[in-house]
Structure 1
Amino acid sequence: SGPMQSQMQFPSGYGSHLPNYSAPSGHYSQVPNKAAASHLDNQYRANYYPGYYSAPAQNVMTSVGSNVLNAQESQQLYNNTPPHSGGSSDRPVQGAVSSASYLHASAQQSYSAFDNHYSTSVSSSVASQGFPLNSDHYAMPVVSGAMYPNVSYPPVAAGGVYGQTFTSQSLPAVGQFKETNALFSSQSTSVPHSLQQHVPVGYNTTLSTVSSAQAVQDNLSRNLTGSVPKVNNQINTGGIDSSQPVHSVSQNVPFTKPGAGTSAASAVMSSVRSPAPSLSSKPPSSPSVTQSPEMALQEGMQYGGYVNNQASSAPAPLSSSSDDEEEDEEDEEAALDSSSTTSSASPVLNNYDALEGGGYPETRSVTSSPVPSPSVLQTSKASKPFGYGYPALQPGYQNATPPTPVQHSNPGHHSGFQHYAQACVNQLSSSLGGLSLQHSQQPESLRPVNLTHDRNILPVSSVPAPVPNLNSDLRKLNCSPDSFRCTLTNIPQTQALLNKAKLPLGLLLHPFRDLTQLPVITSSTIVRCRSCRTYINPFVSFIDQRRWKCNLCYRVNDVPEEFMYNPLTRSYGEPHKRPEVQNSTVEFIASSDYMLRPPQPAVYLFVLDVSHNAVEAGYLTILCQSLLENLDKLPGDSRTRIGFITFDSTVQFYNLQEGLSQPQMLIVSDIDDIFLPTPDSLLVNLHESKELIKDLLNALPNMFTNTRETHSALGPALQAAFKLMSPTGGRISVFQTQLPSLGAGLLHSREDPNQRSSTKVVQHLGPATDFYKKLALDCSGQQTAVDLFLLSSQYSDLASLACMSKYSAGCIYYYPSFHRSHNPAQAEKLQKDLKRYLTRKIGFEAVMRIRCTKGLSIHTFHGNFFVRSTDLLSLANVNPDAGFAVQMSIEESLTDTSLVCFQTALLYTSSKGERRIRVHTLCLPVVSSLTDVYAGADVQAVVCLLANMAVDRSVSSSLADARDALVNAVVDSLAAYMSTASNLQQSMLIAPNSLKLFPLYILALLKQKAFRTGTSTRLDDRVYAMCQMKSQPLVHLMKMIHPNLYRIDKLTDESTIHVNDRVVPQPPLQKLSAEKLTREGAFLMDCGSIFYLWIGKNCDNNFIKDVLGYPNYASVPQKMTQLPEVDAPSSERTRSFISWLRDSRPLSPVLQVIKDENPAKTDFFQHLIEDRTEAAFSYYEFLLNIQQQICK
C-alpha cells in the first residue's frame, strides 16, 4: 500500500538505530538528485578539505551544486511514482557517506587512509552526527604523552606530500612543516539504496526485520574498500485497532467550585478545517511595509540538543509537511510568473519542498511576464558591461562610477557573475567604492602575537565579531553577526587554499532570535530567482529597471511590475530602493501559496510525571503556579487549545470540555495498549474552558500528595500524546523526574558512579533504545515537537530521553538534584525558565533552507531538526532561543567572483495563524592569499563549530578521540600560520591577532563538562552539556565555554554605559585564574546559565552590608540566591550590572553566592580554566605542549 520508499540506513552517532528499528510510516521519501559528484574527487588526495571537517556520514551531505532542477527531477522526487533506488538511476544520486567504516580504523591510518572526500556519489537516507576516528588534517596521534599519559599512540607510516603522517614524536620543525592532518575527514563508501514497503504503523505492533542494524554497522566499520553491504529490510507493521474497547475509569476529581454545569461534553473543535483567511487585504498594486518591534516579536523558534540530521532521504509528512509546502509554492510560481514571484491566486498543489526552495520547473511555462531571452541568460564573458545599452537609466543602473557614493542607488547591488568578464566585476566593484582586498599595510588582525610571552591576551571587554573586509556601504547592508556568522570572513578562492589554512569553513546561525526592529513586508509578490529560488536581497545587481541578476546562481530574472513601486517612498520606477533590497534581514507575510493546509491553531499539551518521586521534588507547584500566571500570555489566538496528561504506573487524561462542572479524570491502566478514552474532549479551547483549566491547575499539586506509586510509564504517556496531537500538530511539554520503568521505552541504569572521574573511556553517550528517536520522527512527520524538562536527583539516562527532543526540533531543560525546598537555586531557575518558555514567541510547521553562491556547498548540519532533503531542515516548532551550525566546502574555484553570499530562509506559521518567511543574507569577500584567510578568521565561530563537531566525534567514536582532535586543531592551524611567517625562532609560539585566543578557548572547551576527563562528572551532566553545545546560539555558547569574570567590589561611575536611563558600570574582564582572586575582593563569574558571586574572607564589610545585606562575612548564609535592594551606591551599581547581564539573554541566570565553605565552591573553581588541575594542564602548560607538537 503506497509507493515503495527508500530504506533508511542506521546511524552510528546519537540516536543510533538498534536492531529491529522500524522507520515511521510515510516518513522517508527519495532524495532529489540535486548535484553531480564533485569534480574535485580525485584532486588533493588525502587532503580534500571537506573531509577534514566532516561529521560521520549520517549528517554529511554532498552539496546542492549549481545545476538547476527541472520539472522532471522534481516530479521524480515528489510524485506518487516509486522513487529510484540508489544505483539504478542514470544520474548521480545525492546522498550521504556512511561514517561507520572508519569508526574502528587504527591510528596508523590517521593520514593515509582517506584518499578523497567523496570518491563516489552515494545514496543514503541517514544524516550524521560526529566526526570520523581518523583524519588527515587533525589526526589523533599528535598529542604529547605528557598531556595524556595513559593513552599510547602507535607510530604512523609516512605518506605523500598531502598524506604524510606524523606522531607526537616526529613532527617536523616549523620551517619544514607540511600539512599534517584534517580535523575530521570522512571515509568514502558506496551505500546502495534498498527499498522499504511502508504500512501504517502503530506503537504496539511487532516489528519484523530481515537484517540486523548492528550487523550492518559492524560490516561498515570493517569495510575500508568503499563498498557497503546492502541493507534490505522489509518492515511490515500493523495499524492500531480503533475498534478495541475503552478500558478506562471515569471519576470526578475532588474539586469544589461554585455552580454546576449541566450540559454534556461537547465537541471542542471540528476536524474539518475552514479555508485559511486572507493574509493581506491590500490589492497587489498597493504593497505595504511595516517595521514595528511589536510585529517583530510575535513569532517563534527552537532550542535543544544534538545533531538531528537523520536522513538525506526525506520523510513525507503524514498530514502537512514543510517540504511539500515548499514544493507547492515553487510549482505555483512557475505557473504564474517567470519573474519568480508568487501570487495568492495560485492553486495549492500537494508538494512541499518547492515552497521555500528547489529547482524551477521550467516545463510549466504559463507566465504573466516574458522569460528572459537566451541571449541574456547565456551572455559570454566577453560581453559588454552591466547595463550597456541603457544610457538613459538612472545612476543606480549605470556602470560608470558615480560622482559620489550617495548617487549610487544601492551599493549592495554587487555581483560576481560568471557570465561576465572579471573586468566587469572589477568595474562594478570600483563603482561600489573601490573594494580592494589588497592591504597597503598589515591589518591589526594579522599582527603576530607571541603567546608564550604575552600573558595578558584577554580583552578588557567581550570579544567583538570581526568585520568583513568590505567597503562601508556593503558593511551597512550586511546581516548582523548575531543572526548569521561565518567562521571565515574572508572566503578562500579555492579548496586548496582552504586546506592550507587548516581552519574549518562553516556558518553559525541564530535565525529566529528576538529582534527589536524587523522589516515586515506584506505584498502579493515575493521576488525570487527562477533558478535557485533565492529571495531578492541587497546583494543582487540590477542590469536595468526590468532585470536583476541573482547573486547566488547568476541567472538573469525579470523585475515584476508590482516590484517597481516602492511603498516606503511611494514612488515608481526604483526597484533598487525597495525594502527587500535595502535590508539583509526581512520577513515576508506569505500568501496561501506557502501553505498545504489552513494554518492550524496553537496547541499545547503538558505531559506530567506525578509519581512519588515527582511529588517529593515539588515541581508541580512551581509549574502550575507559572501556568496560572501566564495562561493568558500563551502565544496564540482565539483558537488556541490546551490539554493535560499525567502518568505514574498508569496514564491519566483530563476532560476539560466546556459545560462540565469540574474537570473529569479518565484513567487508562492498560499501558501496553494505550488509547485515548475520549479523543474529542481532551484538547479544549483555552478561552472557552479557562475556568476548568484553572481549577485543574489549582488542584494538581495536591491531587497526588499521598501517592506511593514509584513507577514511571513515560513511554505510553508519550504514545498517547502523539495520538492526541497528530491531527493538528503543536507542542508537547514533558516533565520527567526519574528513569522510565514501565511499558514502552523503559530504561535501565547504565551509569557506573565509580567511573565518573575516569580518564579512560566514557561510555553510554548514545541512546540505549531507538524508541524515543522513532517517536520523535513520528512527531516530526505530524508537525509536533517534544520539549523535555528533566528534573531528576538521580541518573535518568538523558542520552536516551534527549532523542525525543533532538529529532523533533524540540528543546531540553535539565535541573540536576532538583528539589523545591532543598535546592532553592534550581527551583528559582525552573520558575524563571518557565516564564520565558511559556511566553516566548513560537512558530509551527517550519522549514529552513540555506543557500550559498555557486561553487560553495553545505555538507553537514548541527542542531535540533530533521533533514527532509539535502538542504531542507524540518522544524515542527521553532523558537527564538535555538542556534544552528553548518559545515561547508568549496567545490568550485571562486576566482571569477570577488564576493560570495549566503542566504537562509525560515518558513513558519506564527501563533496567530500567519504564514511568514524570515530571510537573512550574508555577503563576504573572496581572497586569494593565505594571510588574508587568517586575517578574516572569526575565532569564536571557529571554536563553536569545532565544539559541535567534537560532540559528534565523542558519540560516534570516543571522547578521547574528540579531545585529541580539538588539540590537533590548534596544532595544525598555528603550525600552518607559522610556516608562512619569516624570522621566527624555534622557541616562539606565534599566532595572528585574530587567532590569539584560539588555544585558550580550546583549553576551556577541554575543561568543559562535555569533554573533561579526570574530574567527577555525572553522565547526565555530560550529555546535557553536549546537548547545549549543539543547540545554543554562539553568544550564549561562548559564555558556557569561557565564562566572564569581573571584580565587582570596586565598581565606579567612571566606566559606565547608559541603558534605558540606567547607569551600568563596565568592569574589565579578568583572567580565569585564581591569581586574579583576592581575599579582599568580590568577583562575579558569568557562566551563561548561572552567576557565581565569590566573596573573599576579608572582603570589606561595607560592601557585604550594602550589597548582600548582612553585617559581615560570617553572617552571610550558605544558600543565598538574591541580592536585597539596599539604598546604597555600591548596591545600586552591583544590581544594575547584574540586571544588565541578565537582560542580554533569554533565560535568566540564577545568582549563587559562594563562600569558602560553600559546597558550590568546587564548581566555581573548576571554571578557572587557566589554572592547572590534577587531570589537565594550566594554560601556560597547554601552550608549551602546543609549541612542542609544532617544533618537533
Structure 2
Amino acid sequence: MATPEQQLPPGWTAEWQQAHERYLFIETATGHTQWEPPAGPAPPPSESTPAAAAAPAHHGKRRQYAAGQTQAYYGAEETSMLQPMSQPPPQPGMEPQLFTPGLAAPNQFAMQQQASGQPPYFDPSHGQQQPDYLNGPQQPVYPNPNALADQFGQMGLGGQKPFSLQTANLLTSPPDPRELSLPPPEIRLPPNATVTPSQFANADSSYQRSTLNAFPNTSSLLSKSKIPLALVITPYRTVSENEQPVPLVTDTVIARCRRCRTYINPFVQFIDGGNRWRCCMCNLSNEVPQMFDWDQTRNQPGDRWSRPELSHGVVEFVAPTEYMVRPPQPAVYVFLIDVSHTAVQSGMVATATRTILENLDRIPDEDERTKIAVICFDVSLYFFSLPPGQTDPTMLVVSDVEDVFLPKPTDLLLNLAEARKDGGLENLLTRINDMFKDNSIIGSAMGPALQAGFKLMVPIGGKIIALSSSLPSIGVGALKNREDPKILGTAKESGLLQAASPFYKTFAIECSRAQVSVDMFLFSSAYQDVASLSCLPHYTSGQTYYYPAFNAARAEDALKFAHEFGEVLAMPIMLEAIMRVRASRGLRMSSFHGNFFVRSTDLLAMPTVATNQGYAIEVQIEETINAPFVVLQTAILHTTCYGERRIRVVTTAYPVTSSLSEVFASADQVALAVLLANKAVERSLSHKLEDARDAVFNKLVEILQTYKSSMTAAGAGASAQLAVGENLKMLPVLILGLLKNVGIRQSAQIPPDIRAYSQALLTSLPAQLLIPYIYPTFYSLHNMPPESGTVGPDGTLVMPPPLPLTSERLERHGLFLIEDGQTIFLWVGRDAVPQLVMDVFNLPSYDVLRGGKTTLPLLENSFSQRVNAIIQKTREMRRGVFYPHLYVVKEDGEPPLRLWALSALVQDRADVLPSYQQFVSSLKEKVNGNGGY
C-alpha cells in the first residue's frame, strides 16, 4: 500500500497535506468544519493533470457547533475536552461510554451552590434566600461526546479508515435526545472525488440528505438491508443571519451535460487540458462554455476554480432567456375572506384585514409589479374595484354562484404600489370588517370564491390565500358534515381522511397548470372537513394552517394567527417552478412525497415554492453500480418574486459500497423517520390507519431482524439482546413517536379535522420541524443549569439540556417545558413552592394558578426572564412560520389538558399504546420470531 506521501497528487505539498489532516481531525472530534489552509492559493491543476486527480480527498461537511452551544449540550468540563488539539485523535474501535441505568451524576449547579454555602436556589434580584427549586431528578451520565464523534468518524467508506461498526443494545441503552442533534453519518467519498478542495462541495444535510450515506452497489444488497433508499429535500430553507447565503452565479453562463442535462458541479472531471468536462452522471464529454473562464464583472480572465458551481453543493444560477417560456410573471396575491356571520363574530375578519394592512410593506414588491385582489364571500361573492386615482373602493356583488363570472374586466386585480399611492387599498382593508360587522348570513360559497379568484389570476398565476370559518355549503365544492363518532377508531375512519368531493383535486390540478397555488387558513369551531380542503394546498404546493375554535377575543389566538399570517405574506416565494432530481446511471426516482403535482414521470410541478417545505423522494437501484461514488442533483427552475428567472441546484455525492455493514453504518435515522412519516400518511389514505401503523412497525422489525442476522453473533437464533447500530439507536423511539402522533395514532377520540391537519403537517414539514413534531423536546426548568436562559459567549441563547420523554422525570415540585414545534406546555407540579409560582406567574400560590392557554408575564426577576427567554427561543429556533401556543398545565388540573400534555411524553404508556420499554420488548419478541406489537 502506498504511503500518504506517495499518494499525494501533483502540486499537493506536504504542508497542504498536514493542514488537511489537521482539518479532518478537528472535524471528526468536534463536528467543526473550519479549515485554515496554509497561506497562498490552492495549487491549480496543471493542463497535464486532470483537475479531479489534483483535488484532495473530500470529506462530507459536518455540522458546526459554536462554543456556547457545545457548552450548553455537554457542560463546561466536557467542553474543554472538545478543544481541537488538546488530546490525541480518538483511536479506531474505541467503544462509546454509555451510561448504566440507575447511575447518575449529581446536579452540578446544586453542588456549586452547596460548595459556596449558598442555598440551592438563590435569585440575586430578591436579595434573600429562596425556596428550593433544585432538588430535582439526578441527571444521567451521557455518552462521551468524543466517543460519539469517533463513532461517526470510523466509517471506513471509500477506504479512508479501518471500518468499525458500533452496535448498541436497545434493551440497556435508553434514548438520549441529544443524539438527534448530532450530524448524520459522515459521507466519506473516495480520494479525488471533487475538482476543488472545498468543504462545501456536498450540499449541507439541511438542504438534502439521504436515508443512506453509502449507496449499495446492487438492488439485491439494498433489499437485503431492508432500509429504504430515499432523498429528503428542503431546497428552499430560510437562512439565518449567521449562515452563509446560497452562492449566486449572475453571469448566465450555465454549463450542462448535452445528454442527461446535469448541471456542472464539484464532482465532474476536466479533461483535454481543461477544455472539456466529463459528466459525473453519464460520463459524456462536454465542451466548457467559452465564457466559463471570463469574469464579466471585471471584464477580464477569471479564476475557474473560484466559480461557486465547482466548489458548492448548493448554488443558484440567474437563468438566460432560453429558460423562459414567457416573461417572468409578477407576484400575485388574491385574498378570499369568509365574511359570514361565524367568521365576523369570531374576529377572524378583523384580525385578517388588520394583519394584511400592517404587512403591506413586507409583501415582496421591490420591482413594484406585485398585484393584489380581495374577494369576500358568504353565500354571495363580493368584489372590490379600485380604479387608478380613486380612494373609495366600489363593492360589486355576485349572487349567482352557480355560474361564476367576474363583474368587471378591469380594476379588480390591483397593482399593489399604485393602489397604495392614494391610500385606496388601506381604505378598503380598514372598512371591510365594518361593512360586514352586522352580517347575519350563515353559509359559505368557498368553491365559487375559489373559481372567481382563479379566473382573476389565470392569465398570470400566483397565490390564492383562502381564509374560511365554516364548512363550504353553497355551490360547487359544497361539503356535508360527515363526522361520525361511531366510526372513529374503526377501519372506516380512513374514509374521513380522504377528500369528500372530487372538485378539490380536479380544481387543484387546474390551478397547477395555470401556475396558481392555494394556501388554506381554516378557523372553524365545528367540523370543517380539513381532509377535503387540504387537497388544494397539497396538489398546488401550498400549505394548510388550522386554528380550531379560533376566537380573536383571546389575545393568544389573535397573536398566533396574526404572526403566522404576517410571516406568510412576508415570505419570498418562488413562482412557476418545476423540480427534477437527476441521478447517476443505475439510479431512478421511483416515488414522490410532498406538496406538488407530478406532471410527468419525474417532473414535479410547483406553482409556488414556499420556504421550509420538505419533500421525500424514493430512489430505486436499477442496475449494478460500478462507479466508486454516485451523484444526485436536485434542480428547481423558478421565477423569484422580484421577476428574475433562476435555477437552484442542490448536489450531493455518496460513496458506493458492496458491504452490508457499511450500508448499516451509513444509515441516517432522521431521514428514515421523515420518509416513514410520509409513507405512513400515504398508506393511511390508500388503505387503513391500522395498515399504516403495521407497515411502519414491520419496516422497523425488518431492519432490526436483518441487523441481528447479519451483523451480530446471534445470527438467526434467539438473542437476549436487541441489537442495532449506534447511528440507528434513536430510530425505534422516533417510530414510537410517529405511531403515537395524532396523524396515525390508534384512538377513537381524535376528531377527523385534527387528524387530517396532523397528516398535512407530517407530509410537508422539513426534517428540522418534523422530528420534534414526532419526538417533542422536554426541559426541566426549575433546576436547569445557571447559564440556561442566558446569552452564551457566541451570542445565542443557551437552552437547558433535553430530557428523555418520560413522566418519570416529572416532579411534584417542578416546572417543566414540553414542546413539539406546534404547541408549548408549561407543566407545573402540584407541590410547586409559592416562590416559584410568584417568580414565574406573579401569583401567590399554586392554588390560584389557572391552567390553559396563556401569555407568560415578564417579571423583574432573573428566573422569570430566563424562562421567558427559553419560551421565546423555542418559538424562534426552528425554521418556518409557526408560532406555538403556550398552555399552562397543572398536575391536578383539567384532565383533557393534562392528557394532551402527557401524550407528548411518548416513552410512557398511554391508553392502548405501549411504553418505550414495552415497545422495545415487543420488538425483541418480533425480531426473535415470537410475536410482537
Per the normalisation by structure 2, the TM-score is: 0.80
* Residue 1092 in structure 1 maps to residue 813 in structure 2: no
Partner of 2:79: none
8 Å CA contact 1:1065–1:1133 kept in 2: the answer is no
Aligned 1:730-745 pairs, distance under 5 A: 730-745=462-477
| Corresponding letter in the other structure for 1:679 | P
Partner of 2:185: 466
Distance 1:833 1:439, change over 3 A: same
Could you tell me how far 1:808 is from its partner in structure 2? 1.5
| Corresponding letter in the other structure for 2:405 | F
Determine which structure has the larger helix proportion and give its number.
Answer: 2
8 Å CA contact 1:461–1:1068 kept in 2: the answer is no
Partner of 1:887: 618
Of 245, 248, 270, the residue aligned with 1:520 is 248
Could you tell me how far 1:759 is from its partner in structure 2? 7.7
* Residue 591 in structure 1 maps to residue 326 in structure 2: no
8 Å CA contact 2:842–2:859 kept in 1: the answer is yes
Could you tell me how far 1:1063 is from its partner in structure 2? 5.5
Partner of 1:936: 666
**Rounded Cα–Cα distance in structure 2 between residues aligned with 1:643 and 1:983:** 68
Partner of 2:280: 551
Could you tell me how far 1:1107 is from its partner in structure 2? 2.7
Aligned 1:1178-1189 pairs, distance under 5 A: 1178-1189=915-926
8 Å CA contact 1:1053–1:1065 kept in 2: the answer is no
* Residue 529 in structure 1 maps to residue 257 in structure 2: yes
Could you tell me how far 1:457 is from its partner in structure 2? 4.1
Of 1150, 1157, 1160, the residue aligned with 2:897 is 1160
Aligned 1:918-933 pairs, distance under 5 A: 918-933=648-663
8 Å CA contact 1:468–1:475 kept in 2: the answer is no
SS class of match (2:569): helix
| Corresponding letter in the other structure for 2:632 | F
Partner of 2:340: 611
**Rounded Cα–Cα distance in structure 2 between residues aligned with 1:963 and 1:906:** 33
Of 814, 820, 833, the residue aligned with 1:1081 is 814
Of 760, 771, 787, the residue aligned with 1:1027 is 760
Distance 1:930 1:427, change over 3 A: farther
**Rounded Cα–Cα distance in structure 1 between residues aligned with 2:531 and 2:57:** 55
Of 218, 224, 243, the residue aligned with 1:500 is 224
SS class of match (1:925): strand
* Residue 842 in structure 1 maps to residue 573 in structure 2: yes
SS class of match (1:689): helix
* Residue 990 in structure 1 maps to residue 711 in structure 2: no
**Rounded Cα–Cα distance in structure 2 between residues aligned with 1:497 and 1:741:** 54
**Rounded Cα–Cα distance in structure 1 between residues aligned with 2:374 and 2:586:** 50
Partner of 2:835: 1102
8 Å CA contact 1:540–1:548 kept in 2: the answer is yes
Distance 1:572 1:735, change over 3 A: same
| Corresponding letter in the other structure for 1:1122 | T
| Corresponding letter in the other structure for 1:1065 | V
SS class of match (2:402): helix
Distance 1:878 1:761, change over 3 A: closer
SS class of match (1:633): coil
Could you tell me how far 1:411 is from its partner in structure 2? 11
Partner of 2:436: 704
Partner of 1:133: none
**Rounded Cα–Cα distance in structure 2 between residues aligned with 1:494 and 1:1160:** 51
| Corresponding letter in the other structure for 2:502 | D
Partner of 2:913: 1176
Distance 1:425 1:729, change over 3 A: closer
SS class of match (2:618): strand
**Rounded Cα–Cα distance in structure 1 between residues aligned with 2:161 and 2:391:** 81
SS class of match (2:158): coil
| Corresponding letter in the other structure for 2:661 | T
Distance 1:573 1:734, change over 3 A: closer
**Rounded Cα–Cα distance in structure 2 between residues aligned with 1:803 and 1:740:** 14
Distance 1:949 1:410, change over 3 A: farther
* Residue 831 in structure 1 maps to residue 537 in structure 2: no
SS class of match (1:875): strand
8 Å CA contact 2:198–2:312 kept in 1: the answer is no
8 Å CA contact 1:411–1:474 kept in 2: the answer is no
SS class of match (1:772): helix
Could you tell me how far 1:840 is from its partner in structure 2? 1.0
Of 169, 174, 185, the residue aligned with 1:450 is 169
SS class of match (1:599): coil
**Rounded Cα–Cα distance in structure 2 between residues aligned with 1:411 and 1:657:** 64
**CA offsets per residue over residues 617-661 of structure 1, 9 Å max, x none?**
211111111111111111123122111111111111111222334
Could you tell me how far 1:973 is from its partner in structure 2? 0.3
Of 849, 861, 869, the residue aligned with 1:1136 is 869
Of 456, 477, 482, the residue aligned with 2:206 is 482
**CA offsets per residue over residues 413-461 of structure 1, 9 Å max, x none?**
9xxxxxxxxxx99978987699853475554xx3211111223544377
Distance 1:1055 1:668, change over 3 A: closer
Could you tell me how far 1:1099 is from its partner in structure 2? 2.1
Could you tell me how far 1:613 is from its partner in structure 2? 1.4
Per the normalisation by structure 1, the TM-score is: 0.63
Partner of 1:771: 503
Could you tell me how far 1:1000 is from its partner in structure 2? 1.0
* Residue 1122 in structure 1 maps to residue 841 in structure 2: no
* Residue 784 in structure 1 maps to residue 512 in structure 2: no
8 Å CA contact 1:1089–1:1149 kept in 2: the answer is yes
**Rounded Cα–Cα distance in structure 2 between residues aligned with 1:778 and 1:927:** 44
| Corresponding letter in the other structure for 2:513 | G
Distance 1:692 1:570, change over 3 A: closer
Structure 1 gaps of 5+ residues are 1-392, 414-423
Could you tell me how far 1:464 is from its partner in structure 2? 3.2
Aligned 1:389-408 pairs, distance under 5 A: 395=11
Could you tell me how far 1:733 is from its partner in structure 2? 0.5
| Corresponding letter in the other structure for 2:920 | L
CA RMSD of superposed structures (Å): 2.8
Distance 1:898 1:460, change over 3 A: closer
**Rounded Cα–Cα distance in structure 2 between residues aligned with 1:789 and 1:981:** 49
SS class of match (1:763): helix
Could you tell me how far 1:476 is from its partner in structure 2? 4.1
Distance 1:1117 1:982, change over 3 A: closer
Partner of 1:668: 398
8 Å CA contact 1:412–1:538 kept in 2: the answer is no
**Rounded Cα–Cα distance in structure 2 between residues aligned with 1:580 and 1:1153:** 50
Q: Percent sequence identity over matched residues?
A: 38
**Greater RCO between the two (CA within 8 Å, min separation 6)?**
1
8 Å CA contact 2:494–2:687 kept in 1: the answer is no
8 Å CA contact 1:898–1:926 kept in 2: the answer is yes
Partner of 1:102: none
Could you tell me how far 1:978 is from its partner in structure 2? 0.3
Structure 2 gaps of 5+ residues are 1-8, 21-36, 60-154, 192-196
8 Å CA contact 2:180–2:730 kept in 1: the answer is no
* Residue 684 in structure 1 maps to residue 411 in structure 2: no
| Corresponding letter in the other structure for 2:289 | P
SS class of match (2:357): helix
SS class of match (1:764): helix
**Rounded Cα–Cα distance in structure 1 between residues aligned with 2:843 and 2:496:** 46
**Rounded Cα–Cα distance in structure 1 between residues aligned with 2:834 and 2:409:** 63
Of 567, 574, 596, the residue aligned with 1:865 is 596
Distance 1:704 1:890, change over 3 A: same
8 Å CA contact 1:759–1:1014 kept in 2: the answer is no
Distance 1:476 1:724, change over 3 A: closer
SS class of match (2:497): coil
Partner of 1:233: none
**Rounded Cα–Cα distance in structure 2 between residues aligned with 1:574 and 1:820:** 58
Aligned 1:1010-1025 pairs, distance under 5 A: 1010-1025=743-758
Residue correspondences, number: 783
Of 147, 158, 172, the residue aligned with 1:437 is 158
| Corresponding letter in the other structure for 1:971 | V
8 Å CA contact 1:859–1:887 kept in 2: the answer is yes
